[in-house]
Amino acid sequence: MTLVELREITQQYPGEARPAVDHLSLTLPSGSIVALLGMSGSGKTTLLKIIAGLLDPSAGDVCFDGVSVKHLPTEQRGAIMVFQNHLLFPHMTVAQNIGFGLKMRGVPRPVIDERVAHMLDLIQLPGLGHRRPTQLSGGQQQRVALARALIVEPRLLLLDEPLSNLDANLRDEMRELIRQVQRHFGITTLVVTHDQQDAVLLADHIALMRDGRLQQFGPPDALFYRPVDEQVARFFGGVNFIPGAAVEQLIHAALSTLGAPLPNTPGEVVLTIRPEQIQFCDPIQHPQALPGIVDHCQFMGTYYRHAVRVAPLSTPLIVHSHAPITAGTTVALCLPLEHLWVIAAGSAT
């Protein structure tokens, strides 16, 4: 279990207009699994390489358990990185691949055999040690790469997009395996992904990166329900953004009847609410509900997605529900106060 602190890390690649990582500070709690989430090019791989010691940052410090490891070479840091394109040694068997790190450390053969067998069980590939990597599926190779990294009992596990080459079923399995293995060893783990669903399902905490900066860090539900800005909200599927002016004209009046805590400066805020938290309701029972007209309704597989026009909003509110409501129907919408979230306006999309 290792507490990892990144302090004001900056990485400026020569000749690049802007830094790939920009004054980024982040703490990975000891024994936790953290997802490093962000779009392609946001600096995730660069940051992983810096933590692993594969890249010396332009500025900033990396500390493990409060001690700087900045001047330690990769092999002395004990942070092991598993790359997106897991490169197994093709001329070795699966067992030899997994045991490679122990062999390099001069561990006796019987101990290696025993630990490799244990790892094969753990990654649910018992008895496949004699195969060559080419005789395994992509998902199985991914597991072997994970086992090969874990067998040396690193202080820190760094996984770069371990799920991105897998199809849906294998993704679920691999996610489960990573969690299971992480719990088994209690190892501090940083998993890079560009997929918010993977991040939510995998991690204790999510670090969301954009353009080399840390946008938000917290438990998955915090980023989901309490985004710091509109970009974060959109990244997590937020679609309803009600501008301050409309808040004043429309929602202010409706909300004030309920004694809601209202923004002091409505012009400078945006109100957001997730589509699954808006409810269709009976206007007689809920006189403060917002009147609207269903613009269109689409079946999404497990729910119906409605676009509802609500004057004076220029864009329809998106509302999810389990029953369809036909286009053209006049409806009343309840926006439960506990689900409304106020964010600063002007955080561009």
Q: Taking the complex as a whole, how short is the minimal distance between the CB of residue 236 and ligand ADP, in angstroms?
A: 18
Which of 24, 313 has the CB closer to ligand ADP? Answer: 24
User: Would you say 32 or 45 has its CB closer to Mg ion?
Assistant: 45
In single-letter form, the type of residue at position 8 comes to E
State which residue has the least CB distance to Mg ion: 45
The residues in 1-20 that bind ligand ADP, with binding defined as CB under 6 A, are 13, 16, 20
CA–CA gap between residue 38 and residue 194 (Å, rounded): 5
Cα dihedral sign for 280, 284, 288, 294?
positive
* Residue 16 contacts which entry, ligand ADP, Mg ion, none (Cβ below 5-8 A, type-dependent): ligand ADP
CB of 220 to ligand ADP, least distance (A): 19
Indicate which of Mg ion, ligand ADP, none lies near residue 13 (CB less than 5 to 8 Å, by partner kind): ligand ADP
Token pair belonging to 180 = 């299971």
Q: What residue 182 binds from Mg ion, ligand ADP, none (CB within 5 to 8 A, per partner kind)?
A: none
Q: Which does 89 bind (CB under 5 to 8 A by kind): ligand ADP, Mg ion, none?
A: none
Residues 40-79 binding ligand ADP (CB under 6 A) are 40-46
Residue 38 binds which of Mg ion, ligand ADP, none (CB < 5-8 A, kind-dependent): ligand ADP
**CB 79 → ligand ADP: shortest distance, Å?**
17
Nearer to Mg ion, 45 or 188 (CB): 45
Closest to Mg ion by CB, 45 or 182 = 45
> Which positions from 19 through 38 interact with ligand ADP, judged by CB under 6 A?
20, 38
Applying CB under 6 A, what is the total number of residues that bind ligand ADP? 11
Residues at the interface with Mg ion (CB under 5 A): 45
89 near ligand ADP (CB under 6 A):
no
Q: Is-contact 174 162, C-beta < 8 A?
A: yes
Report the nearest approach of ligand ADP to the CB of residue 160 (Å).
Answer: 7
> What is the smallest separation between the CB atom of 124 and ligand ADP, expressed in angstroms?
29
Q: Are 48 and 62 in contact (CB under 8 A)?
A: no
Output the smallest distance, CB 164 to ligand ADP, in A: 11
Strand order through the sheet with 279-280: 279-280, 330-334, 290-299, 304-309, 317-321
167 binds, among Mg ion, ligand ADP, none (CB under 5 to 8 A by kind): none
Q: Which is nearer to ligand ADP, 20 or 246 (CB)?
A: 20
The residues binding ligand ADP (CB under 6 A) are: 13, 16, 20, 38, 40-46
